[in-house]
């Protein structure tokens, strides 16, 4: 007998991990349930248990190897009385190894030139750096949320904050979103600057009354007395294969409401610059991150004073034929689409909105005047979505400049399905953006 | 009425309690009249009958304490020393109101006086109060947050989320349940399981007292005890005030869910202002002495009404201010 032990998937979005430590050696007998190895993902370090029984015939991936893809064989289990099988491939011959040890490369175009003033870091690290820097600068800034302290963050975004700032600045809350959001708002009314992490924005619906009725409206209702300087942050939108209740984009829900600012970073620089601005902002800010983006790396300025203004969009790629307007994870997909379109003779401009409220209508309108064609792109549902709003803004302000109707690429108007094929159909894909652009350019 | 005349309360303090309760009642009566004249519109929830609760508690607060309550908030604002002029101007939607006319009856605030609203969503003020207490603890001061809510709100989930967090983190917050026996038209017996709402803190280890909320001295004593407890860092405290509102839930509620006899019985035998009058009587202060105070209050209210009437409606430019801070 010979059974391949495969690199396990330990979370819905995990694609690779580090085999940090072997807990068995070649020749050891293992029983079902015995610990085999420690695997580190971008979320956590986990111990992997044996499912099958037998003898460790060969270890294929040595400990300390980074970037081991899920489903890569990492060891071979043989019968308890067998000698190692002679036909087992040596490590050097293992077809998975070369692939496994390659570091992850960001597929997206480099936005900033790497130099001594910037680092190639993940969105996750950029968010953490932003919080840590602002906490160092202002004692009134503190973090609260589910698993943000001792667990080091459900998605590791708050990793290390408890160690550096202690339990007077970093609070694990009970799993009671409505209550702890209200406590955060009260603390903000009391002149503190809370950062409230929701494990995901799906769970923030439990707290949405406090966010809208208490945080967003009280300044107005009090004639300007009751500022509420608070950041609500966490992953928003679809993760992967987690079904309808855990995969939804709330961008248009919050962007609908006066009194809130709504920020949607894409890259590491966006994440750092916008989160620092959000923490310094005297208003309630909804900071919509994306779980799939957490592990992606980009160049990011090291400067402690680096911020990006809330309310300003960024043109990620200039072009003259069509404007693709997107935010968050869809910016990367829009840039991929732009490259494909380039090969087809269409020169697309890609706008990263960065912030949805306030919306940078000036950048949008100026781009429309240049390209005369627009495709909006978002993960959320089409009905009353961000694309609908952008379309209305363009109609009201630049109707005469349009050569084609504004076209929306959105998630489908259905609850998110679980099955892989249906989930893919429900989410906007690069091809959808490409096809919409071809249509508005009349080049089909 | 059990009052120990040796209790450490002076005649002046008693007079202050009387004056404050009388002010609240007369402002509310005046608001009721203004409502029927369509000078106040929208929802208007009166505090008549419950005056002893907020007056007794606020009489022992110290500088820097925070107060937050529901939409039945006029009495709380007056007890926090907010100006009746600003309150009346807000009730009538005028520029000189506490919220520039943009909040109305349910949404008034004064940072200066430590009054954080005025919240229109049932029980939303409870976690906010816990958060204000969090800020006091975070800043290391000795202040407390006083969070008022009714028996109706006491069934909201966020109350228990707040109890849990306040007890876990030992937040200096006093949860004052104003049990006036009706959540809108549903009696507490028909809406709330269990004997006493204050019992519900036991599961979280929160100390609770039941207080005769029609007796301002009892309220004051209970509040002092609770504040000492909170200020010493021991965590939250619950005070369940057994009280009663004489008027409907709001001005538009005919209150058919209870009998006239029930209301009259309380008015005659338990009225908080009559109760303190009988104590003042024992101090030798008769009705004629109190009439001087009543006359003063009438003049305060008349001035407030005139102030409100003369204050203009907010300018149209106010529509777009105070949405966010630039």
The answer to whether the CB atoms of B103 and A223 lie below 8 A apart is: yes
Domain boundaries, chain A: 2-101, 118-301, 315-440
Contacts of B99 in chain A (CB under 8 A): 221-223, 225
**pLDDT tens digits for range A105-139:** 444 444 445 567 999 999 999 999 999 999 999 99
> Is residue A286 over pLDDT 50?
yes
Number of C-alpha atoms within 13 angstroms, CB side, residue A140?
A: 16
CB contact, 8 Å: A190 with chain B?
A: yes
Residues A388, A410: contact at Cβ < 8 Å?
no
**pLDDT tens digits for range B152-209:** 999 999 999 999 999 999 999 999 999 999 999 999 999 999 999 999 999 999 999 9
Q: Say whether A315-440 and A118-301 share the same fold.
A: yes
- Domain spanning B11-305 has what CATH number? 3.40.50.970
- Domain spanning A315-440 has what CATH number? 3.40.50.920
**pLDDT tens digits for range A34-70:** 999 999 887 778 888 888 889 999 999 999 999 999 9
Beta strands in B151-226, from DSSP E residues, in sequence order = 173-179, 182-183, 186-187, 207-212
pTM: 0.91
- Domain spanning A118-301 has what CATH number? 3.40.50.970
Question: Shortest CA distance to A430 belongs to which of A330, A350, A349?
Answer: A330
Q: What is the ipTM of this complex?
A: 0.93
Domain boundaries, chain B: 11-305
**pLDDT tens digits for range A179-219:** 999 999 999 999 999 999 999 999 999 999 999 999 999 99
Number of C-alpha atoms within 13 angstroms, CB side, residue A4?
A: 13
Number of C-alpha atoms within 13 angstroms, CB side, residue B27?
A: 33
Active site residues of A: 177, 246
What is the residue-wise DSSP string for A109-170? PP-S---TTEEEEEHHHHHHHHHHHHHHH-TTEEEEETTSSTT--TTSTTTTHHHHH-TTTE
The C-alpha atoms of residue B237 and residue B174 are separated, in whole angstroms, by 5
Least confident of A106-115, A129-138, B103-112, B217-226: A106-115
Which of A186, A218, A222 minimises the CB distance to B134?
A186
CB contact, 8 Å: A187 with chain B?
A: yes
The C-alpha atoms of residue A183 and residue A173 are separated, in whole angstroms, by 10
Least confident of A86-90, A125-129, A291-295, A335-339: A86-90
For domain A2-101, the CATH class is mainly beta
The answer to whether the CB atoms of B99 and A186 lie below 8 A apart is: no
**pLDDT tens digits for range A372-407:** 999 999 999 999 999 999 999 999 999 999 999 999
């Amino acid at each position: 007998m010979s059974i391949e032990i495969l690199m396990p998937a330990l979370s819905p979005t995990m694609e690779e991990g580090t085999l940090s430590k072997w807990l068995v050696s070649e020749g050891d007998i293992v029983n079902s349930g015995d610990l085999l190895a420690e695997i580190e993902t971008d979320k956590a370090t986990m111990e992997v248990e044996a499912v099958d029984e037998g003898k460790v015939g060969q270890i294929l991936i040595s400990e300390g190897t980074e970037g081991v893809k899920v489903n890569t064989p990492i060891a071979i289990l043989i019968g308890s009385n067998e000698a190692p099988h002679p036909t087992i491939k040596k490590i050097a011959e293992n077809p998975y190894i070369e692939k496994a040890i390659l570091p992850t490369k960001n597929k997206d175009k480099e936005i900033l030139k790497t130099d001594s003033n910037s680092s190639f870091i993940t969105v996750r690290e950029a968010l953490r750096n932003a919080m840590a820097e602002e906490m160092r600068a202002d004692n009134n800034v503190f973090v609260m949320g589910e698993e943000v302290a001792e667990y080091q963050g459900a998605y590791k975004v708050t990793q290390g904050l408890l160690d550096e700032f202690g339990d007077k600045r970093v609070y694990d809350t009970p799993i009671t979103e409505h209550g702890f959001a209200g406590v955060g708002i009260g603390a903000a009314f009391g002149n503190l600057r809370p950062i409230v992490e929701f494990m995901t924005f799906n769970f923030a619906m439990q707290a949405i009354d406090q966010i809208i009725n208490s945080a967003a409206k009280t300044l107005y209702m009090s004639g300007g007395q009751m500022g509420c300087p608070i950041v609500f942050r966490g992953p928003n939108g679809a993760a992967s294969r987690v079904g309808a209740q855990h995969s939804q984009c709330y961008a248009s829900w919050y962007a609908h409401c006066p009194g809130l600012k709504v920020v949607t970073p894409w890259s590491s620089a966006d994440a750092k610059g916008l989160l620092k601005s959000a923490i310094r902002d005297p208003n309630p800010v909804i900071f919509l991150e994306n779980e799939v983006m957490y592990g992606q790396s980009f160049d990011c300025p090291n400067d402690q004073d680096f911020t990006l203004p809330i309310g300003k969009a960024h043109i990620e790629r200039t072009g003259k034929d069509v404007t693709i307007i997107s935010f968050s994870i869809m910016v990367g997909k829009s840039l991929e689409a732009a490259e494909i379109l380039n090969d087809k003779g269409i020169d697309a401009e890609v706008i990263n909105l960065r912030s949805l409220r306030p919306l940078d209508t000036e950048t949008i309108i100026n781009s429309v005047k240049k390209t005369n064609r627009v495709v909006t792109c978002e993960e959320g549902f089409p009905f009353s979505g961000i694309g609908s709003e952008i379309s209305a803004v363009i109609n009201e302000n630049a109707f005469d400049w349009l050569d084609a109707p504004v076209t929306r690429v959105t998630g489908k108007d259905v609850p998110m399905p679980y099955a892989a094929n249906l989930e893919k159909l429900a989410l906007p894909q690069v091809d959808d953006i490409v096809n919409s652009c071809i249509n508005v350019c009349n080049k089909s | 009425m059990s009052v120990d005349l040796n209790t450490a309360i002076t005649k002046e303090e008693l007079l202050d309690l009387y004056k404050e309760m009388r002010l609240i009642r007369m402002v509310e009566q005046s608001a009721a009249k203004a409502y029927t004249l369509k000078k106040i519109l929208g929802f208007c929830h009166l505090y008549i009958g419950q005056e002893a609760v907020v007056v007794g508690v606020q009489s022992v607060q110290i500088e820097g304490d925070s107060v937050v309550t529901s939409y039945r908030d006029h009495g709380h604002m007056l007890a926090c020393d907010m100006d009746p002029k600003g309150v009346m101007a807000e009730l009538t939607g005028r520029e000189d109101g506490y919220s520039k006319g943009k909040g109305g009856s349910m949404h008034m605030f004064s940072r200066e006086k430590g009054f954080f609203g005025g919240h229109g969503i049932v029980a939303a003020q409870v976690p906010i109060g816990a958060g204000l207490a969090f800020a006091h603890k975070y800043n290391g001061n000795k202040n407390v947050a006083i969070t008022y809510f009714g028996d109706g709100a006491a069934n909201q989930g966020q109350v228990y989320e707040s109890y849990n967090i306040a007890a876990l983190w030992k937040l200096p917050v006093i949860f004052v349940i104003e049990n006036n026996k009706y959540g809108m038209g549903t009696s507490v017996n028909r809406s709330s399981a269990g004997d006493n709402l204050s019992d519900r803190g036991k599961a979280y280890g929160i100390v609770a007292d039941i207080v005769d909320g029609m007796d301002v001295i009892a309220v004051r004593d209970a509040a002092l005890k609770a504040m000492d407890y909170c200020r010493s860092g021991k965590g939250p405290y619950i005070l369940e005030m057994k009280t009663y509102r004489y008027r409907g839930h709001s001005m538009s509620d005919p209150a058919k869910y209870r009998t006239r006899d029930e209301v009259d019985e309380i008015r005659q035998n338990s009225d908080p202002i009559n109760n303190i009058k009988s104590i003042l009587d024992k101090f030798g202060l008769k009705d004629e002495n109190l009439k001087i105070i009543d006359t003063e209050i009438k003049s305060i209210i008349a001035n407030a009404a005139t102030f409100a009437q003369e204050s203009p409606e907010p300018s149209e430019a106010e529509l777009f201010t105070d949405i966010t801070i630039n």
